[in-house]
Structure 1
Amino acid sequence: MSGKQQAKSEETQRRVLEAAVSAVETGGLEAVNIRKIAADAGYSVGSVYKHYEDQDALLLGVNSVTLGRIKLVMAEAIVGIDEPLAQLKMLAQTYLDFARQNERLWTTLFAHRLPEGKKVPEWQIQENIALLAFIAAPLKQLHPDLTDETLAARTRTCFAAVHGLVTISLEDRFIGLAGKPLDREMEFLVERLAG
């Protein structure tokens, strides 16, 4: 493929992905329809399938964009914060704020399931691991005696607890919290998890 063809192909892929991200932002997971995405991006359905083999591949691309955005806001949030507990609190609050402000993208990240037998690509697993590293680093500072195996488990536990509080609250479940009480309880949760 010539340089010009390669650039054109990359532009098509970028525009299709942008259209899919926009569809999720406005309509959620259910809004991802290959025909509509193709029309919104200004391409044929065949052009979409040239870059994304199916709707699941396109949603993996959207979720990769979401993970990248979460990574960016988390990295920015802890700049200049040296104390590990303060970092963990800021990361949890940043995660909550991201979910509040990008609810449809965030929900799609966890709602999309690949069909049985289809594995999550290694690159997406690595993107998730990169996010968990934000939690692992301050936890290791707080508990330097943790083995790598225990640190990995504790990191996942901390994420799962924070994610659970965010999920229940944003889904407006009767036991969920909102506003300042949610922010306050998030801080309480992180203090207990990090203790």
Structure 2
Amino acid sequence: MAGVQKAKSEETRRKVLEAAIAAVEQGGMEAANIRKIAGEAGYSVGSVYKHFEDQDALLIAVNSVSLGRIKDVMASAVDGTEDPLAQLKALAHAYLAFAQKNENLWTTLFSHHLPDGKAVPDWHIQENITLLAFIAGPLKVLNPGLEGEQLEDRTRTCFSAVHGLVTISLETRFISLTGERLAREMDFLVERLAG
């Protein structure tokens, strides 16, 4: 009997999360309304709160799925590629492609902030760190002298620079680049950052 209850509970959580992901995909972070998501999933608001403490917890779960999808895209991008510079370029382009195809999920990932005093769960921090490892590996090969904190800092700098280029391109600001020009400059940026 306990196994049946657990399976039902997991199914409820899965359906609620799927409804939340669909809501964010369609309408961005503002669409993550618990009452509407409960209705879409076919459950009561109380059922949602049994699995997600509040809207922040639900958005962290959505962001966790987004991170997992980015991880899959990045893993596929470097699969079979041995050259570290080619890996870094492939990672940057994969990241850009993910952001372009999943703009609302990507924007929510970076726009959602917890209220003061509420800590980001350790498991979610680890998911972010796992993605940075994709960058750290090839960077270390290209720069064998980078170790410890220095490698960590360079990895974060590389991610931040690429992220900035992606952000400005998605916002279509007057300084943004698109198409082939964006792809060319992404390669230029990665080459310079890779050292």
State TM-score, norm by structure 1.
Answer: 0.99
What is the CA distance between 1:148 and its match in structure 2?
1.1
Root-mean-square deviation (CA, aligned residues, Å) is 0.7
Letter in 1 for 2:16: V
Q: What's the offset of the Cα at 1:82?
A: 0.1
> What runs of 5+ residues in structure 2 fail to find an aligned partner?
none
Other-structure match for 1:96: 96
Aligned to 2:68: 68
In structure 1, how many angstroms separate the alpha carbons of the residues matched to 2:180 and 2:106? 21
Gaps of 5+ in 1: none
For residues 155-170 of structure 1, the aligned pairs below 5 Å read 155-170=155-170
For 1:41-56, what aligned pairs fall within 5 Å after superposition? 41-56=41-56
**Equivalence for 1:31:** 31
Paired letter, 2:37 = I
Q: Displacement, 1:178?
A: 1.0
Letter in 1 for 2:156: R
Q: Which SS does the other structure have where 1:95 is aligned? A: helix
Q: How does 1:1-150 map to 2 (within 5 A)?
A: 2-150=2-150
Task: Report the alpha carbon displacement of residue 170 of structure 1 after superposing the two structures with TM.
Answer: 0.4
Deviation at 1:101, TM superposition (A): 0.3
* Mapped partners of 1:113, 1:147: distance in 2: 31
Instruction: State the shift of 1:157 in Å.
Output: 0.1
Moved over 6 A (4+): none
Q: CA deviation at 1:92?
A: 0.1
CA distance in 2 between counterparts of 1:172 and 1:111 reads: 17
Q: CA deviation at 1:131?
A: 0.1
User: By how many angstroms is 1:122 displaced?
Assistant: 0.2
What's the offset of the Cα at 1:117? 0.7
> How many pairs were matched up?
195
> Per-residue CA shift, 1:78-137, capped at 9, x if unaligned?
011000000000000000000000000000000001001101100000000000000000
Please give the secondary structure, in 2, of the residue aligned with 1:187. Answer: helix
Q: TM-score, normalised by structure 2?
A: 0.99
Whole-angstrom distance in 2 between the partners of 1:18 and 1:66: 12
